[in-house]
Amino acid sequence: MPAKRSARIHRPTPANLARLARVLAGGGLVAAPTETVYGLAADALNAKACRGIFRAKGRPANDPLIVHVASLAQARGLAEFDAAALSIAKVFWPGPLTLVLPKKPGVPAIVTSGLPSVAVRMPVHRLFRQLIRLSGRPLAAPSANPFGYVSPTTAAHVQAGLGSRIGHILDGGACKIGVESTILDLRYPRRPVLLRPGAVSREALQAVLGRRIAFAGNTISPAHRAAPAPGMLSRHYSPRTPVSLTRKLTRAAINRIPADEAVLLLEKPAYPTGANIFWLTSTGRLEQAAQRLFAMLRKLDDGRWRGIHAETLSGRSSLAVAVNDRLARAAAKK
């Protein structure tokens, strides 16, 4: 039996961008970078193409897709924008923010998991926006990895997870932010809800809306129901290796951890460390920690370690909250 062909990785040349845009316009799939993570893109208005996303990822039908647009006009063709939604979009788009809004006719049910709402985002990443413009279509694009596994932040990550299931990957280098977008539910403007934390903080959103935003937490209602947005399962972004969390790992606590279990710290320690000690940042910058989080979880999930002890971040900054959210989901029991 012949071996399965692996996805082709394309450099971001004008000719390749045009070629990949034609693939998307023709109903195909293309993995491409955004500023948050790599997404697996398809024509959002083509139900058959979007079903291909679910098949490639092994994604359940009750987990809706985020639709990416290149302009506010394109977004308004997909969703109902009231004054609150417009005010948020004008401040935070393009950027790492997804809005959940009432959908307009024409958005396939497969994209929204049958719900009367749609999740919409305008990415800032130049290459992804070019694909949207060149294809002439809004692009549905969840993270380009097998469902539930650690999100990809490089083309190599996509190749490792989906290389045998898709045909095309656009290489745009490492993602700048490294964690998925903030998701704000504005279906009921008087009761806005933060569904998923990300680089855009709840405080910044509240300042624009002029009202308090509730936080949905890290679980959803019964598993058979459709969630209003992706990334809301209690267990998600998870390596195969068991993850346990602790608030702060002291040097004494680290010394008690067996040598066959990995330790993931926020910052590089000032003291000598063993071969099982890893860290997210050598500078103390939360931006670097968030950018490296998923790559480091993948590195530690290579079969060498019996477990991963991860240190959660202190503080209430948007990135600290987002990183802790992803770690909590990675550590949740199956």
Please give the Cα distance from 329 to 58 (Å, whole number). Answer: 19
The answer to whether the CB of 163 falls within 8 A of the CB of 61 is no
User: pLDDT digit string (tens) for 20-61?
Assistant: 999 999 999 999 999 999 999 999 999 999 999 999 999 999
Same domain, 172 and 293: no
Same domain, 200 and 249: no
Token readout for 31 is 């993995």
Same domain, 185 and 264: no
Please give the Cα distance from 143 to 151 (Å, whole number). Answer: 6
Question: Is 230 domain-assigned?
Answer: no
Domain count, the chain: 2
User: pLDDT digit string (tens) for 113-163?
Assistant: 999 999 999 999 999 999 999 999 999 999 999 999 999 999 999 999 999
Same domain, 160 and 41: yes
16-39: b (≥16 Cβ within 10 Å) or e: ebeebbebbeeebbbbbbbbbbbb
Residue with tokens 């071969």: 275
Residue-level pLDDT at 92: 98
Whose CA is closest to 200, among 214, 186, 179?
A: 179
Question: Is 325 domain-assigned?
Answer: yes
Same domain, 252 and 299: yes
Residue-level pLDDT at 138: 98
Whose CA is closest to 67, among 142, 153, 176, 177?
A: 142
**CB count, 10 Å around CB of 320?**
19
Question: Is 220 domain-assigned?
Answer: no
- If you ran DSSP here, which 8-state letter would residue 158 be given? H
Question: Is 3 domain-assigned?
Answer: no
Bridge-based pairing state of the strands 117-121 and 97-102: antiparallel
User: pLDDT digit string (tens) for 183-233?
Assistant: 999 999 899 999 999 999 999 999 999 999 999 875 454 455 678 888 777
Question: Is 227 domain-assigned?
Answer: no
Residue-level pLDDT at 334: 61
Same domain, 45 and 104: yes
Same domain, 307 and 170: no
pLDDT band at residue 292 under the 50/70/90 scheme: very high
Same domain, 192 and 252: no
Q: Give me the CATH number covering residue 139.
A: 3.90.870.10
**CB count, 10 Å around CB of 302?**
11
Q: Give me the CATH number covering residue 297.
A: 3.40.50
Same domain, 48 and 107: yes
Give the ranges where 195-249 is alpha helix by DSSP (H): 202-209
Question: Is 272 domain-assigned?
Answer: yes
Question: Is 15 domain-assigned?
Answer: yes
Domain that holds residue 250: 243-331
Residue-level pLDDT at 4: 63
pLDDT band at residue 1 under the 50/70/90 scheme: very low
Mean pLDDT of the residues in the chain: 93
Predicted TM-score of the model (pTM): 0.94
Please give the Cα distance from 7 to 331 (Å, whole number). Answer: 30
CA angle centred on 161, ends 155 and 167, rounded to 5°? 65
CA angle centred on 314, ends 310 and 318, rounded to 5°? 105
Same domain, 289 and 181: no
Residue 293, Cβ density class (10 Å: 0-12 exposed, 13-18 middle, ≥19 buried): buried
